[in-house]
Structure 1
Amino acid sequence: MTIFRQIQHRLPEPTTRRLVMITGARQTGKTTLARRLYAQLRRLSLDEAEERIRLRELPTRAWATTIGEAVLDEAQKEPAIFEKIKFAYDQGTINFSVLLGSSQIVMLQRIRETLAGRVFMYELWPLMLSELVGGEHPSPLTLLARLCEEEGDADALLSDQPPVLLGEEAYRRAFWFDYGLRWGGMPGLLELTDSDRRDWLASYANTYLERDLADVARLDELVPFRRFMRLAALRSGQTLSYADLARDADISPGTARNYLNYLQLSYQVFLLLPYVDSPGKRLVKSPKLYWIDPGLWRYQTGYWGDASGALLESYVVGECFKWLRTTGTQAECWFYRTHSGLEVDLLLSTASGIWGIEVKSSPEVRLSQATALRRLAAEFGARWRGGLVAYPGERLERLDTNLWAMPITRLFS
């Protein structure tokens, strides 16, 4: 199944003078994407020891004539190539090359050491709902894109939208939304049966421990880290406490920080920062922890039942996070919580103002479920653009002035 990746809009043509780095978790489709977009370039895989030896021994001045403009997969595995690419690029004997790698920290170290100022970096995440729904054909402009990129408040931007979708359009969105909540967005799962998908996720977890983790850490024993991963997954959507994680995992707080850093660097989790620009309010300052992919979250936790409220929140926040990082949109996402108890799951800070999003698992939305959004609207005043109650239903509905019930499928696809 061919999937159009939203990042394709941003990746440069090979006629551009540019060095490109595409990074992301293993198996998110970096190699497939590079083959599709840069089929005319030579591809070399540095996963192969023989290839690494050959490139290591290649004279620097011979890089342009022997290798030329190329796609270099798992580039972080051979440090020697970065100096050779730099020399050829600075000499003007190559104008374009693509570096692929699943180890963010190692790639960034290599670039800082040799290619700083020359490389444009792009991140490839697990498939988003808009990509799954769109298939080979990109989905039309999502409502999330309109909220971030266009001016106007919620009533102005949403009043022209149909209350419900019908037919094939509605079916595809509902199907892929349910799929994403159960299996996540790893491309390798698409063609498999359900039983094979569980085996694939188990294999992925073991491969991550054996290969990707080895790139960022040297662990004497993997058992504590495995236990820590499961505990981190079980806390997805919760405020991060290193002390609590360390205590439950039976490790030191310092080790807990290191372990979580490894999970971030290998694209397994992300931290959502609290919004703190609110003078006069005592705001929570600890970040919230989110597991990026629902399928990998289910494998880590062992939970295969219907989507819980915590999983639904993780899905919505993760979709927003991936979309902002993929498209390069100049908007930022946060959560909002005061010590007095006012909490909103997600804030979107845009050039035109602030959006608030609350996630609810009920099939219908009532105005009473938007109390926090109404209070926040009063606090932000003129900066407030509107509030959305994101839920797994079908009806886009105005609840009050600039306050809308928003089907999750409509927001992201």
Structure 2
Amino acid sequence: MDYISRALEDRLRRYEKAYKATLVTGARQVGKSTLLKKVFPDRKYVSLDDPFLEQQAKEAGNMFLTLNPPPVTIDEVQRAKELFRYIKLKCDESEENGLFCLSGSQPFHLMQNISESLSGRIGIMELAGLSMRECMGDGFNKHFLPTLEYVAERRKTLQKPENIWEMIHKGGYPELQDGNKEWSSFYADYVKTYIERDVRELAAVQDLNVFRQFMIAAAARTGEILNYSAIASEIGKDVGTVKKWMSILEASGIVYLLEPFTSNILKRAIKSPKLYFRDTGLVCYLTRWLTSENLAYGAMSGPVFETFVVSEILKSYANEGLDYRYFVSYYRGRDKKRVKKDGETLEIEAEIDLIIEENGILYPIEIKKNTQAKAIMTSAFAVLDEISGKKRGMGAVICNCPDVGALRENILQIPVWYI
């Protein structure tokens, strides 16, 4: 299988020159090891997936680094948190940068050790699964914004996928881009390995079969406001256990919890986060949508399409080196959306699927799988006009429409492949 260029490559090279250590985090199988080997082919590479090396790193960290001196790449470094104190000593002893390149699929444990040991000495970046741009070989690497300026620049290198539903169904794990790799076998192995290795390490889960049921229940709710009680009832566990297990999925890069937009003006807004899986192929596997054709016309098509769009937008930020958590939110509440029914004016819940905030400007986004967008889909956007100190910018409906178009003066329809 040919290597697919990653958007992080240039930034990884810059970090290697600017920091004594560089850490690449991300979910299992997103391509961290391959990226580090490709960008730094002359470095010595050691993986703590090897039980012998893991034991040595845990029990004799100083000797481990003597046998594997910098510059060195250490993969799955979270398996030996004891090693960080010795990495810190090596960094403090040298004036050179680029001593260590580290990777880890469990930032749940990594972040605590790094903040304590390597603060100021390390550059951290997140590698997600392949983005739509990377799959298409498109080198455009600026984060998505629903503006005319973004659209004009994006159009210069734009490539439309032959079948967007096939791309959504396949998912973004690099190994699946090989046409010879069987889709269901890959995900079956992935889930088995993730549950039996990562989950056992992150928490003392006694019944792994129930955890598998939990993952399925969570996948069926991607794109929805997170309701711990509903999941707990479905799998027969208490809410505390479900919250703990959800934190495991989040920490290991399987899901993202999109927080609600907060404002004192929007007092009636819902405060719970929305749940999104980071990979749509994994959602399809867990919820048993086995072909892209069935997915496109099935009951899960809307939530999975929304999950894909949100995931691609997050990747556009991460691949540019921006922490998407500070830019994105959503809104749902009973603020200022009124409809007439039987001659009576009713106030109903308004929802904005995604709000991007940048430089004091709020960009509202609606996500629809439709091939045609309508202005009425964006009626909730007006809620943002009430927020003092913020300005509502250009809004958009992201959908499967054939081209960019204006729905209103300040609202665009944007095809999904423009992300």
Query: Which of the five TM-score ranges fits, normalised by the shorter chain?
Result: 0.7 to 0.9
* CA distance in 2: counterparts of 1:395 and 1:62, whole angstroms: 56
Q: Which runs of 5+ in 2 are unaligned?
A: 335-347
Letter in 2 for 1:130: R
1:366 and 2:374 equivalent?
yes
Percent identity, please: 27
Matches for 1:63-142 after TM superposition, within 5 Å: 63=65, 66-92=68-94, 95=97, 96-134=99-137, 138-140=138-140
Q: Cα distance, 1:176 vs. partner?
A: 6.4
Q: 1:204 Cα shift?
A: 0.5
Which among 206, 219, 228 is matched to residue 192 of structure 2? Answer: 206
Residues 14-23 or 230-239, more deviating: 14-23
Cα offset for 1:97?
A: 0.5
Q: What secondary structure does 1:348 align onto?
A: strand
4+ residue stretches of structure 1 with deviation over 6 A?
159-162
Q: Is the deviation greater in 337-346 or in 48-57?
A: 48-57
Would the alpha carbon gap of residues 44 and 110 (structure 1) be closer, same or farther in structure 2, given more than 3 Å must change? Answer: same
SS of equivalent residue, structure 2 residue 28 = coil
> What is the identity, as a one-letter code, of the residue corresponding to 2:164?
F
- Residue 51 of structure 1 deviates from its aligned partner by 2.0
2:304 is aligned to 311
Instruction: Provide closer, same or farther for how the CA distance between residues 68 and 377 of structure 1 changes in structure 2, counting only shifts above 3 A.
Output: closer
Q: TM-score, normalised by structure 2?
A: 0.86
Distance change >3 Å, CA 232–CA 322, structure 1 → 2? same
Q: Distance in 1 between matches of 2:307 and 2:39?
A: 31
Q: TM-score, normalising length from structure 1?
A: 0.87
Q: 2:4 & 2:410 partners in 1: Cα distance?
A: 35
Q: How does 1:135-284 map to 2 (within 5 A)?
A: 138-140=138-140, 144-145=143-144, 147=146, 154=147, 158=151, 172-175=159-162, 177-193=164-180, 196-284=182-270
Cα offsets for 1:181-232 (capped at 9, x unmatched): 11110001011347x1111111111010111112211211112111111110
In structure 2, the CA distance between the partners of 1:60 and 1:280, relative to structure 1 (3 Å rule), is closer
> Which digits, 9 at most, give the CA deviation of each residue in 1:147-200, with x for residues without a partner?
5xxxxxx456657987xx9xxx77x52236333311110001011347x11111
Aligned CA distance change for structure 1 residues 398 and 23 (closer, same or farther; 3 Å): same
Distance change (3 Å), C-alpha of 1:9 and 1:380: farther
Please tell me whether the aligned partners of residues 76 and 110 of structure 1 are also in contact (alpha carbons under 8 angstroms): no
Structure 2 SS opposite 1:335:
strand
SS of residue matched to 2:12: coil
Closer, same or farther: CA 386–50 of 1 in aligned 2, 3 Å:
same
Worse-superposed segment, 379-388 or 306-315: 379-388
**Cα distance in 2, alignment partners of residues 187 and 101 from structure 1:** 17
Paired position in structure 1 for 2:45: 43
Q: Deviations over 1:5-59 (max 9, x none)?
A: 1222322444444211111111100000000111121101111122234445657
SS at match of 2:282: helix
Matched-pair contact (CA < 8 Å) for 1:64–1:88: no
Gap regions ≥5 residues in structure 1: 148-153
User: Is 1:394 aligned to 2:394, yes or no?
Assistant: no
Is structure 2 residue 274 aligned with structure 1 residue 288? yes
Give SS of 2:349's match.
coil
Structure 1 pair 292–62 and aligned structure 2 pair: CA distance change class (3 A): closer
What RMSD in Å do the two structures reach over aligned CA positions? 2.6
Partner letter of residue 140 of structure 1?
Answer: F
**Higher mean Cα deviation, 107-116 or 237-246?**
107-116
Distance 1:18 1:245 in 2: 44
1:274·1:334 contact (CA, 8 Å) conserved in 2?
yes
1:350 and 2:358 matched: yes
Q: Confirm or deny that 1:300 pairs with 2:286.
A: yes
Q: Per the alignment, in what secondary structure is the counterpart of residue 271 of structure 1?
A: strand
Instruction: Provide the C-alpha distance between the structure 2 equivalents of 1:213 and 1:65, rounded to a whole number of angstroms.
Output: 31
How many aligned positions are there? 393
Which structure would you say has the larger RCO, counting Cα contacts within 8 Å and 6 or more residues apart? 1
Q: Which stretch of the first structure deviates more once superposed, 303-312 or 323-332?
A: 323-332
C-alpha distance in 2 between matches for 1:193 and 1:175: 19
What letter is aligned with 1:7?
L
Pair 1:198–1:181, CA change in 2 (3 A) = same
SS at match of 2:130: coil
Q: Return the offset for 1:318.
A: 1.5
Aligned-partner SS, 2:295: coil
8 Å CA contact 1:29–1:187 kept in 2: the answer is: yes
Secondary structure, aligned partner of 2:372? coil
Counterpart position of 2:7: 6
In structure 2, distance between residues paired with 1:257 and 1:317: 22
